[in-house]
Structure 1
Amino acid sequence: MPSIRVLDSTIYYEDHGAGGTPVVFLHGNPSSSHTWRKVLPRIPGRRLLAPDLIGMGRSGKPEIAYTFDDHSRYLDAWFDALGLDEVILVGHDWGGALAFDWAARHPGRVRGVAFFEAIVRGMSWSQLGEAPRKRGELIRSEQGEELVLGGNFLVDTAYTGGVLTPVSEEEKAAYLAPYPTPESRRPLLRWARSIPLDGEPADVAARVDAYGEWLAGSETVPKLLLTFEASPTLMITPELAEWCGANIAALETVHVGAAGHHATEDRPAEIASEVGKWIEGL
Protein backbone atom coordinates (compact mmCIF):
# COMPACT_ATOMS: atom_id res chain seq x y z
CA MET A 1 0.00 0.00 0.00
CA PRO A 2 1.18 3.56 -0.72
CA SER A 3 2.82 6.32 1.25
CA ILE A 4 2.58 9.94 0.20
CA ARG A 5 4.72 12.96 1.02
CA VAL A 6 2.97 15.49 3.27
CA LEU A 7 4.60 18.57 4.79
CA ASP A 8 8.02 17.40 6.04
CA SER A 9 7.15 13.71 6.35
CA THR A 10 5.06 10.87 4.89
CA ILE A 11 1.64 9.36 5.52
CA TYR A 12 1.08 5.65 4.89
CA TYR A 13 -2.44 4.61 3.96
CA GLU A 14 -4.50 1.62 2.93
CA ASP A 15 -6.35 2.13 -0.35
CA HIS A 16 -8.98 -0.43 -1.32
CA GLY A 17 -11.70 -0.68 -3.92
CA ALA A 18 -13.23 1.95 -6.16
CA GLY A 19 -16.48 3.72 -6.89
CA GLY A 20 -18.74 6.29 -5.30
CA THR A 21 -17.81 8.87 -2.72
CA PRO A 22 -14.50 7.88 -1.02
CA VAL A 23 -14.78 6.66 2.56
CA VAL A 24 -11.95 7.60 4.95
CA PHE A 25 -11.41 5.51 8.09
CA LEU A 26 -9.50 7.21 10.92
CA HIS A 27 -8.01 5.19 13.79
CA GLY A 28 -7.34 6.17 17.39
CA ASN A 29 -4.74 5.50 20.09
CA PRO A 30 -2.62 3.33 20.39
CA SER A 31 -3.72 2.00 17.03
CA SER A 32 -3.10 2.30 13.29
CA SER A 33 -4.83 1.44 10.04
CA HIS A 34 -4.27 -2.18 11.13
CA THR A 35 -7.43 -1.80 13.23
CA TRP A 36 -9.53 -1.71 10.03
CA ARG A 37 -8.07 -4.90 8.49
CA LYS A 38 -11.21 -6.98 9.19
CA VAL A 39 -13.64 -4.16 8.34
CA LEU A 40 -12.52 -2.83 4.95
CA PRO A 41 -12.76 -6.13 3.02
CA ARG A 42 -16.40 -6.43 4.09
CA ILE A 43 -17.51 -3.12 2.51
CA PRO A 44 -17.64 -3.61 -1.28
CA GLY A 45 -18.20 -1.16 -4.09
CA ARG A 46 -16.41 1.84 -2.63
CA ARG A 47 -12.99 3.41 -2.50
CA LEU A 48 -11.92 2.90 1.11
CA LEU A 49 -8.94 4.80 2.53
CA ALA A 50 -7.36 4.29 5.96
CA PRO A 51 -4.31 6.43 6.80
CA ASP A 52 -1.90 5.95 9.68
CA LEU A 53 -1.84 9.17 11.69
CA ILE A 54 1.48 10.99 11.72
CA GLY A 55 3.96 9.33 14.07
CA MET A 56 1.83 6.19 14.19
CA GLY A 57 1.73 2.93 12.27
CA ARG A 58 3.87 3.08 9.15
CA SER A 59 3.65 6.87 8.72
CA GLY A 60 6.67 9.08 9.22
CA LYS A 61 7.83 10.13 12.67
CA PRO A 62 8.99 13.75 12.46
CA GLU A 63 10.33 15.63 15.47
CA ILE A 64 7.12 17.37 16.52
CA ALA A 65 5.11 17.57 19.73
CA TYR A 66 2.23 15.40 18.40
CA THR A 67 -0.45 17.74 19.62
CA PHE A 68 -4.00 17.54 18.31
CA ASP A 69 -3.14 20.45 16.01
CA ASP A 70 -0.09 18.58 14.66
CA HIS A 71 -2.21 15.56 13.76
CA SER A 72 -4.79 17.86 12.21
CA ARG A 73 -2.21 19.67 10.05
CA TYR A 74 -0.71 16.48 8.65
CA LEU A 75 -4.15 14.99 8.07
CA ASP A 76 -5.24 18.15 6.23
CA ALA A 77 -2.18 17.86 4.02
CA TRP A 78 -2.97 14.19 3.29
CA PHE A 79 -6.56 14.98 2.24
CA ASP A 80 -5.29 17.77 0.00
CA ALA A 81 -2.46 15.70 -1.51
CA LEU A 82 -4.96 13.04 -2.58
CA GLY A 83 -7.46 15.62 -3.82
CA LEU A 84 -10.23 14.35 -1.56
CA ASP A 85 -12.88 17.02 -2.04
CA GLU A 86 -15.97 14.96 -1.19
CA VAL A 87 -15.72 12.24 1.45
CA ILE A 88 -17.53 10.12 4.00
CA LEU A 89 -15.67 9.85 7.31
CA VAL A 90 -15.58 6.92 9.74
CA GLY A 91 -13.78 7.51 13.03
CA HIS A 92 -12.93 5.58 16.18
CA ASP A 93 -11.49 7.05 19.38
CA TRP A 94 -9.24 10.02 18.48
CA GLY A 95 -9.97 9.22 14.84
CA GLY A 96 -13.55 10.23 15.57
CA ALA A 97 -12.38 13.50 17.10
CA LEU A 98 -10.18 14.22 14.08
CA ALA A 99 -13.08 13.36 11.76
CA PHE A 100 -15.36 15.83 13.56
CA ASP A 101 -12.63 18.47 13.55
CA TRP A 102 -11.91 18.05 9.83
CA ALA A 103 -15.61 18.10 8.95
CA ALA A 104 -16.19 21.24 11.03
CA ARG A 105 -13.37 23.04 9.22
CA HIS A 106 -14.27 21.68 5.74
CA PRO A 107 -18.08 21.58 5.79
CA GLY A 108 -18.37 21.63 2.00
CA ARG A 109 -16.25 18.51 1.59
CA VAL A 110 -17.94 16.02 3.91
CA ARG A 111 -21.01 13.95 2.96
CA GLY A 112 -21.45 12.00 6.19
CA VAL A 113 -19.72 10.98 9.43
CA ALA A 114 -19.94 7.59 11.16
CA PHE A 115 -18.28 7.14 14.54
CA PHE A 116 -17.99 4.95 17.59
CA GLU A 117 -16.16 5.14 20.91
CA ALA A 118 -15.13 8.70 20.08
CA ILE A 119 -14.68 11.93 22.04
CA VAL A 120 -17.93 13.79 21.43
CA ARG A 121 -17.57 16.36 24.23
CA GLY A 122 -15.28 17.47 27.02
CA MET A 123 -15.77 15.81 30.40
CA SER A 124 -14.82 16.32 34.02
CA TRP A 125 -12.83 14.05 36.30
CA SER A 126 -15.95 13.61 38.43
CA GLN A 127 -17.85 12.13 35.48
CA LEU A 128 -15.37 9.29 35.10
CA GLY A 129 -15.87 5.95 36.78
CA GLU A 130 -13.34 4.88 39.39
CA ALA A 131 -11.25 2.69 37.05
CA PRO A 132 -11.02 5.24 34.17
CA ARG A 133 -10.22 8.00 36.66
CA LYS A 134 -7.37 6.03 38.22
CA ARG A 135 -6.01 5.15 34.79
CA GLY A 136 -6.18 8.79 33.68
CA GLU A 137 -4.39 9.97 36.79
CA LEU A 138 -1.73 7.30 36.33
CA ILE A 139 -1.11 8.21 32.67
CA ARG A 140 -0.63 11.88 33.55
CA SER A 141 1.85 11.11 36.33
CA GLU A 142 5.61 10.59 36.20
CA GLN A 143 5.03 6.89 36.77
CA GLY A 144 2.66 6.85 33.80
CA GLU A 145 5.32 8.36 31.57
CA GLU A 146 7.73 5.63 32.61
CA LEU A 147 5.10 2.95 31.92
CA VAL A 148 4.22 4.25 28.46
CA LEU A 149 7.68 5.20 27.20
CA GLY A 150 9.54 2.40 28.94
CA GLY A 151 7.44 -0.47 27.63
CA ASN A 152 4.33 -1.56 25.80
CA PHE A 153 1.80 -0.60 28.48
CA LEU A 154 -0.69 1.16 26.20
CA VAL A 155 -0.77 -1.44 23.43
CA ASP A 156 -0.75 -4.37 25.87
CA THR A 157 -3.66 -3.03 27.90
CA ALA A 158 -5.61 -1.88 24.83
CA TYR A 159 -5.64 -5.30 23.21
CA THR A 160 -6.12 -7.37 26.35
CA GLY A 161 -8.37 -5.30 28.65
CA GLY A 162 -9.77 -2.98 25.97
CA VAL A 163 -11.35 -5.86 24.06
CA LEU A 164 -13.66 -8.66 25.14
CA THR A 165 -11.41 -11.27 23.52
CA PRO A 166 -7.66 -10.54 23.71
CA VAL A 167 -5.99 -10.48 20.31
CA SER A 168 -3.43 -13.11 19.34
CA GLU A 169 0.26 -12.44 19.88
CA GLU A 170 0.70 -12.29 16.09
CA GLU A 171 -1.98 -9.64 15.70
CA LYS A 172 -0.70 -7.66 18.66
CA ALA A 173 2.79 -7.73 17.15
CA ALA A 174 1.50 -5.68 14.22
CA TYR A 175 0.26 -3.01 16.65
CA LEU A 176 3.58 -3.07 18.54
CA ALA A 177 5.90 -2.98 15.51
CA PRO A 178 5.84 0.82 14.97
CA TYR A 179 6.87 1.53 18.57
CA PRO A 180 10.17 -0.23 19.35
CA THR A 181 11.76 2.65 21.31
CA PRO A 182 10.76 5.16 24.00
CA GLU A 183 10.96 8.01 21.48
CA SER A 184 8.68 6.20 19.04
CA ARG A 185 6.06 5.85 21.77
CA ARG A 186 5.81 9.60 22.48
CA PRO A 187 2.81 10.09 20.15
CA LEU A 188 0.93 7.44 22.15
CA LEU A 189 1.69 9.18 25.43
CA ARG A 190 0.64 12.57 24.07
CA TRP A 191 -2.69 11.18 22.91
CA ALA A 192 -3.29 9.43 26.22
CA ARG A 193 -2.73 12.71 28.05
CA SER A 194 -4.89 14.76 25.67
CA ILE A 195 -8.37 13.63 26.72
CA PRO A 196 -10.03 16.94 27.73
CA LEU A 197 -10.99 16.80 31.41
CA ASP A 198 -12.16 19.93 33.23
CA GLY A 199 -10.96 22.00 30.27
CA GLU A 200 -7.40 20.65 30.19
CA PRO A 201 -5.45 20.43 27.95
CA ALA A 202 -6.91 23.78 26.94
CA ASP A 203 -5.92 23.50 23.27
CA VAL A 204 -7.74 20.17 22.87
CA ALA A 205 -10.75 21.36 24.86
CA ALA A 206 -11.07 24.32 22.49
CA ARG A 207 -11.02 22.04 19.43
CA VAL A 208 -13.64 19.76 20.98
CA ASP A 209 -15.86 22.75 21.77
CA ALA A 210 -15.49 24.01 18.20
CA TYR A 211 -16.44 20.74 16.55
CA GLY A 212 -19.21 20.31 19.10
CA GLU A 213 -20.87 23.40 17.63
CA TRP A 214 -20.60 21.84 14.17
CA LEU A 215 -22.04 18.53 15.39
CA ALA A 216 -25.02 20.35 16.86
CA GLY A 217 -25.70 22.56 13.85
CA SER A 218 -24.91 20.44 10.78
CA GLU A 219 -28.45 19.28 10.00
CA THR A 220 -27.63 18.49 6.36
CA VAL A 221 -24.78 16.07 7.12
CA PRO A 222 -25.98 12.55 8.08
CA LYS A 223 -24.23 10.97 11.05
CA LEU A 224 -24.13 7.43 12.41
CA LEU A 225 -23.28 6.43 15.98
CA LEU A 226 -22.52 2.77 16.71
CA THR A 227 -22.92 1.73 20.36
CA PHE A 228 -21.84 -1.36 22.26
CA GLU A 229 -22.30 -3.06 25.63
CA ALA A 230 -20.73 -5.44 28.15
CA SER A 231 -17.34 -3.79 28.78
CA PRO A 232 -16.20 -1.35 31.50
CA THR A 233 -13.77 0.16 28.97
CA LEU A 234 -16.53 1.64 26.80
CA MET A 235 -16.33 5.39 26.34
CA ILE A 236 -19.86 5.96 25.03
CA THR A 237 -22.18 4.76 27.76
CA PRO A 238 -25.98 4.60 27.39
CA GLU A 239 -26.17 7.99 29.11
CA LEU A 240 -23.67 9.54 26.69
CA ALA A 241 -25.43 7.94 23.71
CA GLU A 242 -28.64 9.59 24.91
CA TRP A 243 -26.79 12.91 25.13
CA CYS A 244 -25.57 12.42 21.54
CA GLY A 245 -29.12 11.83 20.37
CA ALA A 246 -30.22 15.10 21.94
CA ASN A 247 -27.22 17.21 20.89
CA ILE A 248 -25.91 15.95 17.55
CA ALA A 249 -27.88 16.91 14.45
CA ALA A 250 -29.02 14.36 11.84
CA LEU A 251 -27.87 11.45 14.00
CA GLU A 252 -28.87 7.81 13.61
CA THR A 253 -27.85 5.48 16.45
CA VAL A 254 -27.45 1.73 15.97
CA HIS A 255 -26.68 -0.67 18.81
CA VAL A 256 -24.24 -3.31 17.59
CA GLY A 257 -23.75 -5.69 20.54
CA ALA A 258 -21.07 -6.68 23.02
CA ALA A 259 -17.59 -5.21 22.54
CA GLY A 260 -14.76 -3.44 24.29
CA HIS A 261 -13.49 0.03 23.45
CA HIS A 262 -11.39 -1.32 20.57
CA ALA A 263 -14.54 -2.68 19.00
CA THR A 264 -13.07 -3.47 15.56
CA GLU A 265 -11.39 -6.45 17.20
CA ASP A 266 -14.62 -7.76 18.77
CA ARG A 267 -17.24 -6.84 16.14
CA PRO A 268 -15.59 -6.22 12.73
CA ALA A 269 -18.29 -7.92 10.66
CA GLU A 270 -21.11 -6.09 12.41
CA ILE A 271 -19.33 -2.72 12.18
CA ALA A 272 -18.73 -3.25 8.45
CA SER A 273 -22.35 -4.29 7.91
CA GLU A 274 -23.86 -1.30 9.70
CA VAL A 275 -21.46 1.23 8.18
CA GLY A 276 -21.94 -0.31 4.73
CA LYS A 277 -25.75 -0.18 4.95
CA TRP A 278 -25.64 3.41 6.20
CA ILE A 279 -23.33 4.48 3.35
CA GLU A 280 -25.61 2.94 0.75
CA GLY A 281 -28.53 4.83 2.22
CA LEU A 282 -26.90 8.24 2.01
Structure 2
Amino acid sequence: MTAIRYQTATVDSLSIFYREAGTPGAPKLLLLHGFPSAGHMFRDLIPLLADRFHIVAPDLPGFGQSGTPDGMVTFDRIAEAVDRFTEVIGFDRYALYVFDYGAPTGFRLAVKHPERITAIISQNGNAYEEGLSDSWNPIRAYWQDATPANREALRAFLKPETTVWQYTHGVPDATAASPDGHSLDNFYLARPGMADVQLDLFGDYKSNVALYPAFQTYFRTHKPPFLAVWGRNDPFFLPAGAEAFRRDIPAAVVRFFETGHFALETHAAEIAAEIRSFLSR
Protein backbone atom coordinates (compact mmCIF):
# COMPACT_ATOMS: atom_id res chain seq x y z
CA MET A 1 0.00 0.00 0.00
CA THR A 2 1.23 3.50 -0.85
CA ALA A 3 1.15 6.00 2.00
CA ILE A 4 -0.14 9.35 0.79
CA ARG A 5 0.18 12.29 3.16
CA TYR A 6 -2.27 15.20 3.03
CA GLN A 7 -0.68 18.43 4.18
CA THR A 8 -0.88 22.20 4.01
CA ALA A 9 1.99 24.63 3.51
CA THR A 10 1.80 28.35 4.21
CA VAL A 11 3.21 30.32 1.30
CA ASP A 12 3.38 34.07 1.92
CA SER A 13 0.19 33.90 4.05
CA LEU A 14 -1.61 31.70 1.46
CA SER A 15 -2.44 28.11 2.39
CA ILE A 16 -1.52 25.50 -0.22
CA PHE A 17 -2.95 22.03 0.29
CA TYR A 18 -0.97 19.17 -1.22
CA ARG A 19 -0.69 15.42 -1.52
CA GLU A 20 2.73 13.88 -0.98
CA ALA A 21 3.96 10.33 -1.54
CA GLY A 22 7.19 8.47 -2.07
CA THR A 23 10.54 8.72 -0.36
CA PRO A 24 12.37 12.03 0.16
CA GLY A 25 15.63 11.70 -1.72
CA ALA A 26 14.03 9.91 -4.66
CA PRO A 27 13.71 11.84 -7.95
CA LYS A 28 11.15 14.60 -7.47
CA LEU A 29 7.95 14.83 -9.50
CA LEU A 30 5.58 17.82 -9.27
CA LEU A 31 2.01 17.22 -10.49
CA LEU A 32 -0.01 20.27 -11.56
CA HIS A 33 -3.72 19.83 -12.21
CA GLY A 34 -6.13 21.78 -14.42
CA PHE A 35 -9.65 23.20 -14.58
CA PRO A 36 -11.99 22.58 -12.84
CA SER A 37 -10.17 19.99 -10.79
CA ALA A 38 -7.61 19.78 -7.98
CA GLY A 39 -4.87 17.43 -6.85
CA HIS A 40 -7.43 14.65 -6.43
CA MET A 41 -7.28 14.12 -10.20
CA PHE A 42 -3.97 12.29 -9.53
CA ARG A 43 -5.50 9.85 -7.01
CA ASP A 44 -5.00 6.86 -9.36
CA LEU A 45 -1.61 7.94 -10.75
CA ILE A 46 0.24 8.64 -7.50
CA PRO A 47 0.19 5.04 -6.15
CA LEU A 48 1.52 3.79 -9.49
CA LEU A 49 4.63 5.99 -9.30
CA ALA A 50 5.34 6.48 -5.59
CA ASP A 51 7.76 3.56 -5.38
CA ARG A 52 10.14 5.38 -7.74
CA PHE A 53 9.54 9.08 -7.17
CA HIS A 54 9.02 11.65 -4.44
CA ILE A 55 5.67 13.07 -5.60
CA VAL A 56 3.93 16.28 -4.63
CA ALA A 57 0.55 17.33 -6.05
CA PRO A 58 -0.67 20.72 -4.81
CA ASP A 59 -4.13 22.17 -5.24
CA LEU A 60 -3.54 25.37 -7.20
CA PRO A 61 -4.52 28.64 -5.48
CA GLY A 62 -8.26 29.11 -5.85
CA PHE A 63 -8.84 25.37 -6.35
CA GLY A 64 -9.63 22.43 -4.13
CA GLN A 65 -8.50 22.76 -0.52
CA SER A 66 -6.01 25.58 -1.17
CA GLY A 67 -6.69 29.18 -0.25
CA THR A 68 -7.73 31.85 -2.71
CA PRO A 69 -5.57 34.98 -3.02
CA ASP A 70 -7.16 38.33 -2.33
CA GLY A 71 -8.14 40.26 -5.43
CA MET A 72 -8.22 38.97 -8.98
CA VAL A 73 -6.73 35.50 -9.48
CA THR A 74 -4.46 35.36 -12.54
CA PHE A 75 -2.17 32.74 -14.01
CA ASP A 76 0.86 34.87 -13.14
CA ARG A 77 -0.23 34.91 -9.49
CA ILE A 78 -0.91 31.16 -9.49
CA ALA A 79 2.54 30.47 -10.96
CA GLU A 80 4.22 32.78 -8.45
CA ALA A 81 2.52 30.96 -5.57
CA VAL A 82 3.46 27.53 -6.91
CA ASP A 83 7.04 28.71 -7.47
CA ARG A 84 7.27 29.81 -3.83
CA PHE A 85 5.54 26.58 -2.75
CA THR A 86 8.28 24.48 -4.37
CA GLU A 87 10.87 26.49 -2.44
CA VAL A 88 9.01 26.14 0.87
CA ILE A 89 8.81 22.33 0.56
CA GLY A 90 12.38 21.97 -0.76
CA PHE A 91 11.62 20.96 -4.36
CA ASP A 92 14.82 22.39 -5.84
CA ARG A 93 15.04 20.11 -8.93
CA TYR A 94 12.06 18.21 -10.23
CA ALA A 95 10.25 16.75 -13.19
CA LEU A 96 6.95 18.42 -14.09
CA TYR A 97 3.66 16.70 -14.91
CA VAL A 98 1.30 19.34 -16.30
CA PHE A 99 -2.33 19.12 -17.36
CA ASP A 100 -4.65 21.82 -18.72
CA TYR A 101 -4.19 24.92 -16.46
CA GLY A 102 -1.18 23.21 -14.93
CA ALA A 103 0.65 23.60 -18.25
CA PRO A 104 0.85 27.41 -18.43
CA THR A 105 1.59 27.34 -14.70
CA GLY A 106 4.41 24.83 -15.00
CA PHE A 107 5.81 26.33 -18.20
CA ARG A 108 6.11 29.69 -16.43
CA LEU A 109 8.20 27.95 -13.77
CA ALA A 110 10.37 26.33 -16.43
CA VAL A 111 11.00 29.64 -18.21
CA LYS A 112 11.91 31.30 -14.90
CA HIS A 113 14.03 28.43 -13.53
CA PRO A 114 15.21 26.20 -16.39
CA GLU A 115 17.94 24.76 -14.17
CA ARG A 116 15.32 23.29 -11.82
CA ILE A 117 13.46 21.25 -14.45
CA THR A 118 14.70 17.71 -15.06
CA ALA A 119 11.92 16.64 -17.46
CA ILE A 120 8.38 17.55 -18.51
CA ILE A 121 5.34 15.31 -18.97
CA SER A 122 2.43 17.12 -20.60
CA GLN A 123 -0.94 15.41 -20.44
CA ASN A 124 -3.26 17.50 -22.59
CA GLY A 125 -1.28 20.57 -21.56
CA ASN A 126 -1.04 22.93 -24.50
CA ALA A 127 1.56 25.50 -25.65
CA TYR A 128 0.68 25.99 -29.34
CA GLU A 129 -2.19 27.85 -30.99
CA GLU A 130 -2.91 24.95 -33.33
CA GLY A 131 -3.71 22.92 -30.24
CA LEU A 132 -6.69 25.12 -29.34
CA SER A 133 -10.00 23.78 -30.66
CA ASP A 134 -13.13 25.72 -31.62
CA SER A 135 -14.47 24.95 -28.14
CA TRP A 136 -12.42 27.98 -27.07
CA ASN A 137 -14.43 30.37 -29.27
CA PRO A 138 -16.76 31.65 -26.49
CA ILE A 139 -13.72 32.27 -24.29
CA ARG A 140 -11.87 33.95 -27.19
CA ALA A 141 -14.85 36.27 -27.60
CA TYR A 142 -14.42 37.35 -23.97
CA TRP A 143 -10.68 37.94 -24.53
CA GLN A 144 -11.45 40.20 -27.45
CA ASP A 145 -14.36 42.05 -25.85
CA ALA A 146 -14.72 41.73 -22.08
CA THR A 147 -18.33 42.80 -21.92
CA PRO A 148 -20.65 41.64 -19.14
CA ALA A 149 -22.63 39.70 -21.75
CA ASN A 150 -19.56 37.80 -22.96
CA ARG A 151 -18.53 37.08 -19.37
CA GLU A 152 -22.02 35.87 -18.50
CA ALA A 153 -22.02 33.52 -21.49
CA LEU A 154 -19.07 31.66 -19.98
CA ARG A 155 -21.09 30.56 -16.97
CA ALA A 156 -22.20 27.62 -19.12
CA PHE A 157 -18.71 26.17 -18.59
CA LEU A 158 -19.38 26.12 -14.82
CA LYS A 159 -22.61 24.13 -14.91
CA PRO A 160 -22.54 20.68 -13.29
CA GLU A 161 -23.54 18.98 -16.52
CA THR A 162 -20.64 20.67 -18.33
CA THR A 163 -18.19 19.26 -15.80
CA VAL A 164 -19.63 15.78 -16.35
CA TRP A 165 -19.31 16.31 -20.12
CA GLN A 166 -15.64 17.26 -19.74
CA TYR A 167 -15.00 13.95 -18.01
CA THR A 168 -17.00 11.77 -20.39
CA HIS A 169 -16.69 13.36 -23.84
CA GLY A 170 -14.48 11.26 -26.08
CA VAL A 171 -14.41 8.32 -23.66
CA PRO A 172 -15.38 5.21 -25.67
CA ASP A 173 -17.02 3.60 -22.63
CA ALA A 174 -18.46 6.21 -20.27
CA THR A 175 -18.92 3.56 -17.57
CA ALA A 176 -15.11 3.45 -17.29
CA ALA A 177 -15.05 7.05 -15.99
CA SER A 178 -15.70 7.19 -12.24
CA PRO A 179 -18.17 9.86 -11.07
CA ASP A 180 -15.88 10.66 -8.13
CA GLY A 181 -13.80 13.23 -9.98
CA HIS A 182 -16.55 15.33 -11.52
CA SER A 183 -18.68 15.11 -8.36
CA LEU A 184 -15.90 16.60 -6.24
CA ASP A 185 -15.11 19.22 -8.88
CA ASN A 186 -18.74 20.33 -8.92
CA PHE A 187 -18.72 20.56 -5.13
CA TYR A 188 -15.71 22.90 -5.27
CA LEU A 189 -17.20 24.96 -8.11
CA ALA A 190 -20.41 25.53 -6.15
CA ARG A 191 -18.68 27.25 -3.23
CA PRO A 192 -19.36 30.98 -2.77
CA GLY A 193 -17.10 33.17 -4.90
CA MET A 194 -15.66 30.34 -6.99
CA ALA A 195 -17.61 31.24 -10.13
CA ASP A 196 -16.00 34.67 -10.30
CA VAL A 197 -12.54 33.17 -9.75
CA GLN A 198 -13.07 30.85 -12.70
CA LEU A 199 -14.55 33.57 -14.92
CA ASP A 200 -11.53 35.76 -14.17
CA LEU A 201 -9.23 32.91 -15.19
CA PHE A 202 -11.15 32.35 -18.43
CA GLY A 203 -10.46 35.98 -19.25
CA ASP A 204 -6.83 35.77 -18.19
CA TYR A 205 -6.13 32.65 -20.25
CA LYS A 206 -5.21 35.01 -23.08
CA SER A 207 -2.05 35.77 -21.09
CA ASN A 208 -1.05 32.12 -21.56
CA VAL A 209 -1.51 32.29 -25.33
CA ALA A 210 0.54 35.49 -25.36
CA LEU A 211 3.34 33.55 -23.63
CA TYR A 212 3.33 30.65 -26.11
CA PRO A 213 6.32 32.13 -28.01
CA ALA A 214 8.28 32.40 -24.74
CA PHE A 215 7.39 28.81 -23.81
CA GLN A 216 8.46 27.64 -27.27
CA THR A 217 11.74 29.53 -27.01
CA TYR A 218 12.39 27.72 -23.73
CA PHE A 219 11.68 24.37 -25.41
CA ARG A 220 14.01 25.13 -28.32
CA THR A 221 16.78 26.52 -26.12
CA HIS A 222 16.82 23.99 -23.30
CA LYS A 223 15.24 20.94 -24.96
CA PRO A 224 14.12 19.31 -21.69
CA PRO A 225 13.34 15.59 -21.89
CA PHE A 226 9.69 15.77 -22.93
CA LEU A 227 6.81 13.30 -22.96
CA ALA A 228 3.35 14.19 -24.26
CA VAL A 229 0.59 11.77 -23.18
CA TRP A 230 -2.63 12.90 -24.77
CA GLY A 231 -6.28 11.97 -24.76
CA ARG A 232 -6.83 11.97 -28.53
CA ASN A 233 -10.50 12.94 -28.24
CA ASP A 234 -9.99 16.01 -26.04
CA PRO A 235 -12.60 18.64 -27.05
CA PHE A 236 -10.34 21.52 -25.97
CA PHE A 237 -6.74 20.60 -26.80
CA LEU A 238 -6.27 18.94 -30.17
CA PRO A 239 -3.70 16.27 -31.10
CA ALA A 240 -1.95 18.90 -33.21
CA GLY A 241 -0.94 20.59 -29.97
CA ALA A 242 0.81 17.42 -28.80
CA GLU A 243 2.59 16.91 -32.13
CA ALA A 244 3.75 20.54 -32.13
CA PHE A 245 6.14 19.93 -29.24
CA ARG A 246 8.33 17.97 -31.66
CA ARG A 247 8.84 21.14 -33.67
CA ASP A 248 10.83 22.66 -30.83
CA ILE A 249 12.02 19.45 -29.12
CA PRO A 250 12.67 16.92 -31.92
CA ALA A 251 13.35 14.14 -29.41
CA ALA A 252 10.00 14.64 -27.65
CA VAL A 253 7.99 11.44 -27.18
CA VAL A 254 4.29 11.71 -28.08
CA ARG A 255 1.74 9.07 -27.11
CA PHE A 256 -2.00 9.18 -27.81
CA PHE A 257 -4.73 7.34 -25.94
CA GLU A 258 -8.30 6.70 -27.10
CA THR A 259 -9.95 8.81 -24.45
CA GLY A 260 -10.90 12.41 -23.68
CA HIS A 261 -9.67 15.41 -21.72
CA PHE A 262 -9.27 13.71 -18.32
CA ALA A 263 -7.15 10.86 -19.65
CA LEU A 264 -6.10 9.68 -16.17
CA GLU A 265 -9.69 8.72 -15.41
CA THR A 266 -9.49 5.86 -17.92
CA HIS A 267 -5.77 5.35 -18.67
CA ALA A 268 -3.85 5.95 -15.44
CA ALA A 269 -2.04 2.61 -15.65
CA GLU A 270 -0.99 3.13 -19.26
CA ILE A 271 0.17 6.69 -18.62
CA ALA A 272 2.08 5.60 -15.50
CA ALA A 273 3.86 2.94 -17.56
CA GLU A 274 4.86 5.56 -20.14
CA ILE A 275 6.17 7.87 -17.40
CA ARG A 276 8.19 5.12 -15.72
CA SER A 277 9.79 4.13 -19.01
CA PHE A 278 10.41 7.73 -20.06
CA LEU A 279 11.93 8.94 -16.80
CA SER A 280 14.08 5.83 -16.44
CA ARG A 281 15.83 6.89 -19.65
For 1:224 and 1:232, the matched residues in 2 are separated by: 17
Q: 1:209 aligns with which of 209, 213, 218?
A: 213
Secondary structure, counterpart of 1:193 in structure 2: helix
Deviates more, 1:14-23 or 1:155-164: 155-164
1:1-282 residue pairs with structure 2 within 5 A?
1-18=6-23, 19-43=25-49, 44-122=51-129, 128-129=133-134, 131-133=135-137, 137=141, 141-147=150-156, 151-152=159-160, 154-161=162-169, 163-164=171-172, 165=174, 167-195=177-205, 201=206, 203-219=207-223, 221-229=224-232, 231=233, 233=235, 235-237=237-239, 239-248=240-249, 250-255=251-256, 257-281=257-281
For 2:155 and 2:247, the matched residues in 1 are separated by: 41
Q: Which runs of 5+ in 1 are unaligned?
A: 196-200
Identity of aligned residues (%): 23
Q: From the superposition, tell whether residues 232 and 242 of structure 1 become closer, same or farther in structure 2 (CA, over 3 Å).
A: closer
> Which amino acid in the other structure matches residue 244 of structure 1?
F
For 2:245 and 2:279, the matched residues in 1 are separated by: 20
Secondary structure, counterpart of 2:18 in structure 1: strand
Q: Which has the higher helix share?
A: 2
The superposition leaves residues 5-26 of structure 1 with CA deviations (integer Å, 9 ceiling, x where unpaired) of 0122110111011142210011
- TM-score w.r.t. the length of structure 2 is 0.84
How many residues are aligned here?
Answer: 267
Once the two structures are TM-superposed, the CA of residue 74 in structure 1 deviates from its matched residue by 0.7
Secondary structure, counterpart of 1:177 in structure 2: helix
For 2:252 and 2:11, the matched residues in 1 are separated by: 33
Q: Which runs of 5+ in 2 are unaligned?
A: 1-5
Contact kept? 1:56, 1:178, Cα under 8 Å: yes
The superposition leaves residues 23-76 of structure 1 with CA deviations (integer Å, 9 ceiling, x where unpaired) of 001111111111111111111221111010001011012323111111111111
For 2:209 and 2:139, the matched residues in 1 are separated by: 20
Contact kept? 1:148, 1:185, Cα under 8 Å: no
Secondary structure, counterpart of 1:71 in structure 2: helix
Once the two structures are TM-superposed, the CA of residue 189 in structure 1 deviates from its matched residue by 2.4
> Which amino acid in the other structure matches residue 156 of structure 2?
L
Deviates more, 1:101-110 or 1:171-180: 171-180
| RMSD (CA atoms) | 2.6
